[in-house]
């Protein structure tokens, strides 16, 4: 399980690393599955099957049987992005892929809400939770890191980046979320990069 604050770039990094790993193999072994809010177990298995190149248009039992057969001599990994949206039923459904041969590895990734899901449903998810090999907490993007990114992205058009522009860009990239009934602000790397690109274009246009 992996937790990271909103906007930390975990999805983009995962896409890159998964693609890099799979490119070295004759057949992909890591499959990313996006978990939308209120997704049903059937829709989740449909997305798993589609990501793995299996038939998504079958019942849950058939989908699981197909996946187990098609990967019978392999050890694939399912990477569930935004896993805090998964219900107990959805988590229990994919647990079968972990418990039965060929034993898929499961990676659940999401915000801090994901940890609350498992702690809140500790009794119901005991069989899944005791199989968790590791829990990793990724830190939020720091202000110093954000400043470094901005200086690098805007170096060509603004070599002497002033403090006011830096602060403006960081404020535009900040997001506020509720964590354990408290509001917390994080710097979204996605927003920061988008704002930096826009600022670079504006500064380049003004210099012409």
Burial (Cβ within 10 Å: 0-12, 13-18, ≥19) of residue 208:
exposed
- Token duo for residue 22: 């799979």
Residues with Cβ < 8 Å from 5, sequence gap 6 or more?
Answer: 111, 112, 138, 139, 140, 177, 184, 186
Measured in Å, how far apart are the chain's first and last C-alpha atoms? 49
The answer to whether 106 and 1 have CB atoms below 8 angstroms apart is no
Beta strand 30-34 pairing with 77-81 = parallel
- Token duo for residue 202: 């504006």
Could you give the domains of the chain? 2-137 (3.40.50.300), 143-207 (no CATH)
The answer to whether 68 and 60 have CB atoms below 8 angstroms apart is no
Phi then psi for residue 24, to 5 deg, are -85, -10
**C-alpha dihedral (60, 66, 70, 75), degrees to nearest 10:** 30
Place of tokens 């990094």: 13
pLDDT value at position 56? 95
Share in percent of the chain as helix, strand, coil (round to 5):
50, 15, 35
Element (H, E) at 16: helix 10-23
DSSP state of 137: E
pLDDT value at position 107? 95
CA distances from 36 to 33, 47, 55, 56 (A): 10, 11, 20, 17
pLDDT value at position 53? 96
- Per-residue pLDDT in tens (0 to 9) along the chain, 208 residues: 998 887 788 888 899 999 999 999 999 999 999 999 999 999 999 999 999 999 999 999 999 999 999 999 999 999 999 999 999 899 999 999 999 999 999 999 998 788 777 777 766 777 787 888 888 888 888 999 999 999 998 888 888 888 888 999 999 999 887 766 778 888 998 899 998 899 888 888 776 6
């Amino acid at each position: 399980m992996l937790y990271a604050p909103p906007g930390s770039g975990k999805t983009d990094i995962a896409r890159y690393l998964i693609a890099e790993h799979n490119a070295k193999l004759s057949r992909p072994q890591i499959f990313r599955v996006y978990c939308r809010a209120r997704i049903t177990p059937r829709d989740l298995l449909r997305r798993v099957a589609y990501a793995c190149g299996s038939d998504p248009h079958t019942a849950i039992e058939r989908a699981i049987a197909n996946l187990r057969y098609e990967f019978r001599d392999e050890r694939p990994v399912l990477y569930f992005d935004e896993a805090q949206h998964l219900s107990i039923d959805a988590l229990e459904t994919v647990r079968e892929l972990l418990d039965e041969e060929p034993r898929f590895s499961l990676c659940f990734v999401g915000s801090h809400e994901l940890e609350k899901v498992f702690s809140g449903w500790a009794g119901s998810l005991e069989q899944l939770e005791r199989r968790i090999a590791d829990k990793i907490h990724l830190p939020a993007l720091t202000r110093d890191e954000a400043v470094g990114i901005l200086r690098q992205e805007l170096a060509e058009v603004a070599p002497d980046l002033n403090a006011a522009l830096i602060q403006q860009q960081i404020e535009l990239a900040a997001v506020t979320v509720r964590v354990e009934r408290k509001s917390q602000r994080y710097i979204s790397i996605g927003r920061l990069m988008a704002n930096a690109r826009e600022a670079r274009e504006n500064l380049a246009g003004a210099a012409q």
